[in-house]
Chains A and B, each alone.
Chain A
Amino acid sequence: MKRMMPQFAALLLLLLMLALLQQLLMPKYMSAPVEGAFIGEYYGKEGGHDVLFIGDSEVYSNFSPIRLWESFGIPSYIRGSPQQLLWQSYYLLEEMLRKEEPQVVVLNVLAMRFSAPQREAYNRMTLDGMRPSVHKWRAVKASMLEGEHFAEYLFPLLRYRTRLNELTPEDFHYLFRRDPVTHNGYYMRTDIRPALPVPRPRPLPDYQFGSKAMRYLEKITALCSDRGISLVLIKAPSLYPHWHAEWDRQMKEYADLHGLVYINFIPLADEIGLDYEKDTYDGGLHLNLSGAEKLTDYFGALLTAQFSLEDRRTDPAFLGLWKEKKAFYDEMQARQVRDLEHFGSLVNEGAFSP
């Protein structure tokens, strides 16, 4: 046994070196595209959220948990990521429900148009941020495209090894830490890019949602039902990509069949008070801060009316934490406004620079 100690020590050293190398080579997403950092940012903030949002960029750009707290006293978190697919949403929700007891889960349904994995880069931005767990491995298996390998998700070093030639100071600066880039999952953008005339919607050969998307929507529905959680399906207000009437009809039918609330915010833009000349940062695809706060106020009123959500603004267990969140929110807003005044555009897409 004593003679084997040096070998064990050497093996341990090798494993540590490989782990460190992996940590160094994985993208940090502290500069553009910062969206890759969103999923991982949730850890350390688990628990205490009455509302959870899951889905793609239409949730993380369009709803402000800080505003939802300020206006209604509802603590919430958005676990969103770029082009998050239904199966990823399911496993992320499954993971979150290990430590959360929300009353409401809100799912944006744009992803229903995808019933197959799309792009590795988007898979990575969702899956690499998940901590190792059975939920992650199931999400990986459901998400992999042809040519991707499970081992490369298990040991990302195998996939990112070529980044050795592309390392930047950011990779060393953020070797063991990350700066927050969102506000409980909300991606703040104060810049404005007015909407452009959108192309006419193209007809599709088949409007039926695919079986894989439907299967995971049913799993999300069952997961919420089993836990006594109210599931709310939404289609965020967006001018593009086009949300076909046939898709809207399928979602209404699904919601009616399962006794769920489904809200298509697109035709409610006027009622919400959205102005696509001022309330969008990318020509009408996503809302900026002004638009997100209007939508959040509108949705918060609906949530409060429909569900028995407690106003926790006087609860001492929440006050300190949300005061800190609000301070960071205001700080980032002020910084972005200054950047727009000085430079005409946001620095580092709104996140604080590394």
Chain B
Amino acid sequence: MMLKILCISVLMLALLTGCSAAVTPVKPPAGADALAAPLDAAPRAFAYNSIPIEMHAPAEPLLEALGEPAAYFEAASCAHQGMDRVYTYPDFELHTYESDGVERVLAVILLNDRITTPEGLRLSSPPQDIQKRYGEPSQPMEGVYVYTHENTRLSILVRDNQIIEIAYMAVFHE
């Protein structure tokens, strides 16, 4: 009987140490949060001066192509391991995150009217242009038009009948 119980104990211990995703302690807070979103068809990848800037793409070659930013900021990420970084260029902000030691594109925020989305939308465009160019949003929400395609979410904020932000964000599929 004792031998039976001992065998069961060993078996249970072996089962308990089976495979599963580990909880990895992370370095704590502050920084931009990345948000997951459902999939849908939509916007083309953003490009700046013919340089395509795709979400989750490695940032190093982009940073080289884009040249010296006007400003740089970094903070320990609260959404990912490693650092969140913000590179500010004259016309847009590039946000990056770290994954397995590789810096990748997290978001692009348009800063002024000098640039447009590939579909021609700019910050001074009338809000009525949004649905003309992109159709029905993926997620209905007051004051925000969200269009998602694969790993990219285009988010357009409207307030007082004006577009106040156009942002591309990386979609994370947990």
Q: Which residues of A line the B interface, CB within 8 A?
A: 6-7, 10-11, 13-14, 17-18, 21, 27, 29, 32-33, 35-36, 56-57, 82-83, 118-122, 124-125, 147, 157-164, 166, 196-200, 202-203, 205-206, 238, 240-241, 282-283, 285-286
Given contacts A124-B23, A199-B88, whether A57 and B29 have CB atoms under 8 Å apart is yes
Query: B27, A32: Cβ atoms under 8 Å?
Result: yes
12 sample A-B contacts, Cβ–Cβ < 8 Å, listed by A number: A7-B1, A10-B2, A10-B5, A18-B16, A124-B23, A124-B25, A161-B17, A199-B71, A199-B73, A205-B144, A241-B31, A285-B29
Query: B73, A196: Cβ atoms under 8 Å?
Result: yes
A166 to B164, CA, bound (A): 48
User: Which listed segment binds A: B6-14, B47-55, B56-64?
Assistant: B6-14
Q: Closest Cβ of chain B: how far from A229's Cβ, in Å?
A: 27
With a cutoff of 8 Å between Cβ atoms, the chain A residues found around residue B33 in the complex are 118
With a cutoff of 8 Å between Cβ atoms, the chain B residues found around residue A11 in the complex are 5
Indicate with 1 or 0, residue by residue over B66-105, a CB within 8 angstroms of chain A CB atoms.
0000011111101100000010100001000000000000
Residue of A nearest to B4 (CB): A10
Residue of B nearest to A206 (CB): B143
Query: B28, A199: Cβ atoms under 8 Å?
Result: no
Given contact pairs A122-B29, A197-B73, a sample of 20 additional A-B residue pairs in the complex whose CB atoms are under 8 Å apart: A6-B1, A6-B2, A17-B9, A27-B23, A33-B25, A33-B27, A36-B25, A57-B28, A83-B78, A121-B24, A124-B25, A125-B28, A158-B16, A161-B16, A199-B71, A205-B142, A240-B30, A241-B32, A283-B74, A285-B76
- Is B65's beta carbon under 8 Å from chain A? no
Q: Which residue from A27, A159, A203 sits with its C-beta under 8 Å from B164?
A: A203
Q: Closest Cβ of chain B: how far from A124's Cβ, in Å?
A: 6
Residue of B nearest to A156 (CB): B23
Q: Which residue from A6, A27, A283 sits with its C-beta under 8 Å from B75?
A: A283
With a cutoff of 8 Å between Cβ atoms, the chain A residues found around residue B28 in the complex are 33, 35, 57, 82-83, 122, 125
Q: Closest Cβ of chain B: how far from A208's Cβ, in Å?
A: 12
Residue of B nearest to A10 (CB): B5
Query: A203, B159: Cβ atoms under 8 Å?
Result: yes
Query: A14, B25: Cβ atoms under 8 Å?
Result: no
Interface magnitude class on chain B: 35 or more
With a cutoff of 8 Å between Cβ atoms, the chain B residues found around residue A21 in the complex are 13, 16
- Is B26's beta carbon under 8 Å from chain A? yes
Q: Closest Cβ of chain A: how far from B93's Cβ, in Å?
A: 6
A57 to B76, CA, bound (A): 12
With a cutoff of 8 Å between Cβ atoms, the chain A residues found around residue B109 in the complex are 202
Q: Closest Cβ of chain A: how far from B51's Cβ, in Å?
A: 21
A6 to B1, CA, bound (A): 9
Q: Which residue from A6, A27, A157 sits with its C-beta under 8 Å from B25?
A: A27
Residue of A nearest to B144 (CB): A205
Q: Which of B18-46 contact A (CB under 8 A)?
A: 18-33
Given contacts A57-B30, A119-B79, A161-B17, whether A198 and B25 have CB atoms under 8 Å apart is no
Q: Closest Cβ of chain A: how far from B36's Cβ, in Å?
A: 11
A7 to B1, CA, bound (A): 8
With a cutoff of 8 Å between Cβ atoms, the chain A residues found around residue B1 in the complex are 6-7
Query: A198, B73: Cβ atoms under 8 Å?
Result: yes
Q: Closest Cβ of chain B: how far from A71's Cβ, in Å?
A: 28
Query: B18, A161: Cβ atoms under 8 Å?
Result: yes
With a cutoff of 8 Å between Cβ atoms, the chain B residues found around residue A161 in the complex are 16-18, 20
Query: A166, B13: Cβ atoms under 8 Å?
Result: no
Please provide the 3 A-B residue pairs with the shortest distance between their CB atoms, ordered closest to farther. A82-B28, A10-B5, A205-B144
Q: Closest Cβ of chain A: how far from B79's Cβ, in Å?
A: 7
Q: Which residue from A119, A124, A157, A162 sits with its C-beta under 8 Å from B21?
A: A162
A283 to B83, CA, bound (A): 12
Query: A199, B23: Cβ atoms under 8 Å?
Result: no
Query: B93, A199: Cβ atoms under 8 Å?
Result: yes
With a cutoff of 8 Å between Cβ atoms, the chain A residues found around residue B24 in the complex are 121
A241 to B95, CA, bound (A): 14
A29 to B26, CA, bound (A): 11
A283 to B2, CA, bound (A): 62
A119 to B81, CA, bound (A): 12
Q: Closest Cβ of chain B: how far from A170's Cβ, in Å?
A: 12
Query: A157, B16: Cβ atoms under 8 Å?
Result: yes
With a cutoff of 8 Å between Cβ atoms, the chain B residues found around residue A125 in the complex are 25, 28
A306 to B5, CA, bound (A): 65
Q: Closest Cβ of chain A: how far from B77's Cβ, in Å?
A: 11
- Is B150's beta carbon under 8 Å from chain A? no
Q: Which residue from B5, B26, B73 sits with its C-beta under 8 Å from A33?
A: B26
Query: A285, B30: Cβ atoms under 8 Å?
Result: yes
Query: A163, B9: Cβ atoms under 8 Å?
Result: no
A199 to B106, CA, bound (A): 15
Query: A282, B5: Cβ atoms under 8 Å?
Result: no
Q: Closest Cβ of chain B: how far from A131's Cβ, in Å?
A: 19
- Is B157's beta carbon under 8 Å from chain A? yes
With a cutoff of 8 Å between Cβ atoms, the chain B residues found around residue A159 in the complex are 20, 23
